[in-house]
Homo-oligomer: A and B are copies of this chain.
Amino acid sequence: MSSGSSVPTRQRLVTAAAELIRRQGYAATGIKAILTAAGAPYGSLYHFFPGGKAELGRAVIEEGGAAYLALVEAFYREDIDPVLATEEFFAGGVELLESTAFADACPIATLAGEIADTHEPMRRAAQVAFESWIAALAADLAAHGADPARAETAGVELFCLVEGAFLLCRTTRSAEPLRIAGRRAVAIVAETMAPAEAAVARRG
């Protein structure tokens, strides 16, 4: 695990698997295709992942989860107004979708849907990843003065809007759903930061 040449191979396997899985799903991604894309010899998969493809899938979830968490934290920072951060986060998502022909969106959403009922260790890893994103968002809103419970709710709502929009954008080959979801997300964050006005809205 710590030898100089083997560390990059493990990483190449995870990166190649992640790239294939985010575009075509977990089950459709064969071990051979991963090894070819990684330029890695056959034996390396079971050397680094004795549990085989499922263990590699779990590493993809953990790494994708950490990468997306870093992305959330890069947008939602103490020195940036959360409403502005939300605008920029969704604008960045639209740009990513359009620049990758709607292929790259959430790194682990499709995988998570595929294995929710069938691979308990991967499901738990996906749960940890999803909850870490929601918690980071909620923590930032709370740090900017929002009520913690309402910040958590807003985090869940934004997660749902983003993931649902990614699915609709990829399926319809249009970024418009993510633009619509983004405007709603901005309104939700604004409401979460200003509870009094929100109460008026909810009475509607």
Contacts and interface: CB of A to CB of B under 8 A. Distances in A.
Given A160-B177, A194-B204, 4 more contacts: A23-B117, A24-B117, A28-B114, A123-B173
B102 A109 contact: no
Interface string A152-170: 0100110111111101101
Contacts of A117: 23-24, 101-103, 170
Considering the complex of A and B, which 6 residue pairs feature the smallest CB-CB distances, nearest first? A160-B164, A201-B201, A27-B27, A164-B164, A25-B114, A27-B28
Q: Do most interface residues of chain A lie in helix, strand or loop, or is the interface mixed?
A: helix
Contact of A127 (B113, B153, B172, B184): B172
Given A117-B103, A201-B197, A157 B184 contact: yes
A5 interface: no
Given A204-B191, A204-B201, A118 B28 contact: yes
17 contacts: A24-B118, A25-B26, A25-B114, A26-B27, A28-B118, A109-B113, A116-B171, A127-B171, A127-B173, A131-B172, A156-B176, A159-B164, A159-B177, A160-B165, A163-B163, A164-B165, A187-B202
